[in-house]
Amino acid sequence: MSRAHPFRFGLQAYQTTSAKQWRSLAREAEQLGYSAFHLADHYFGPGPLEAETRHPVQDLAAIPAMAVAAEATDTIRIGCRVLCVDYHLPAVLAKELATLDFLSDGRLEIGLGAGWIEAEYRAMGVRWDRPGIRLQRLEEVIDLIEAHFGGEQIAIDGTHVRVNGYRGVPSPVQTPRPPFMIGGGGERILRLAGKRADIVSLNFDNRSGRLGSDGIGSSTADATDRKTCWVREGAGARFERLELEIAAYFTMVGVEPLTAYAQLSATLGVPPETLDDHPHVLAGSVDEICDRLEARRERYGVSYVTVGARALQDFAPVVSRLAGT
């Protein structure tokens, strides 16, 4: 599959040692040519949930951290991969996102998802519903955010979201609104993303509620082919306009690939042979990684690649070579 979208690259950060370091990280990503600076949307600190979910602790809440990153920078886009709509009062979330777009001079990407860590819901006292209900609620929140940016009186009377009687302000800097990034790894969420998103984030299918070999196995090369088909079927005629994004969670620049796969296999509990063409793995020299990214764009249509903060410097030569091409 060949798509015309040029490459761009995001950086995702979970942890920081200080406010100064957080601002510095955002500025460095901007200076190195990354196009977007992301967080995730998780709230638990150190404790038993780390072991239960195998998910790293995220130090900062997403919305205020996005605001600080925007204030510290001038051109890089600010986003979240992705905001869990169940963690936010919908009307407040819409207002906060409109404010972020306004105060960042139109640099916001709106990442939205339906949630996946049941243990985090439980720990926070948030109700955990079955997937179909969470997806229905996500779509109603999308409707509300679109209405908030639409300039007309809001009138949302859904099953889960009921907001009316006022017009959303501030008005969007981006027109008609900031882009939506919707992410996930299952069929229903990816069909919805194809239908409603501007950017589709292809991710693990984490229905188990924890990171591990199941999620990694759900995102092999063949599985990613199926995911792009679900996106296409959900998008219909608008598919070619969509930007497809993926996170290279396992990025090892300057390491011999077979050595990297052996190390990852021991850590992740998956056979090394499944990692060679795994879309969430990038290992090798700068030349090898660039070749892989170009091949994956040809196969899947993925042109937007996000790496973790630990790869910021090592991955910068790839960004320099491919961004905008």
The DSSP code sequence of 7-67 is PEEEEE----S-HHHHHHHHHHHHHTT-SEEEE------SSHHHHHH-PPPP-S-HHHHHH
Residue 3 inside a domain? The answer is: no
Residue 230 inside a domain? The answer is: yes
Q: Is the pLDDT of residue 47 over 90?
A: yes
What is the predicted pLDDT for the residue at 2?
45
Residue 172 inside a domain? The answer is: yes
Q: Is the pLDDT of residue 3 over 70?
A: no
Q: pTM for this one?
A: 0.95
Q: Is the pLDDT of residue 60 over 60?
A: yes
Task: State phi, psi for 262 to the nearest 5 degrees.
Answer: -65, -40
Q: Which 3 state secondary structure label does DSSP give 152?
A: coil
Q: Could you give the number of structural domains in the chain?
A: 1
Residue 1 inside a domain? The answer is: no
Tell me the mean pLDDT in the region 59-83.
97
Residue 314 inside a domain? The answer is: yes
Model confidence pLDDT, tens digit, residues 115-166: 999 999 999 999 999 999 999 999 999 999 999 999 999 999 999 999 999 9
Model confidence pLDDT, tens digit, residues 272-314: 888 999 999 999 999 999 999 999 999 999 999 999 999 999 9
Tell me the mean pLDDT in the region 67-72.
98
What is the predicted pLDDT for the residue at 1?
47
Q: Nearest Cα to 197, choosing from 153, 224, 230?
A: 230
Residue 60 inside a domain? The answer is: yes
Cα gap 107→70, rounded to integer Å: 8
Residue 88 inside a domain? The answer is: yes
Residue 19 half-sphere exposure toward CB, CA atoms < 13 A: 5
Residue 318 inside a domain? The answer is: yes
Model confidence pLDDT, tens digit, residues 170-211: 999 999 999 999 989 999 999 999 999 999 999 988 777 777
Q: Give me the domain span that covers residue 26.
A: 8-322
What is the predicted pLDDT for the residue at 164?
97
**In CATH, what number is assigned to the domain containing residue 130?**
3.20.20.30
Q: Is the pLDDT of residue 267 over 90?
A: no
- Sign for the CA dihedral angle at 38, 11, 221, 294 comes to positive
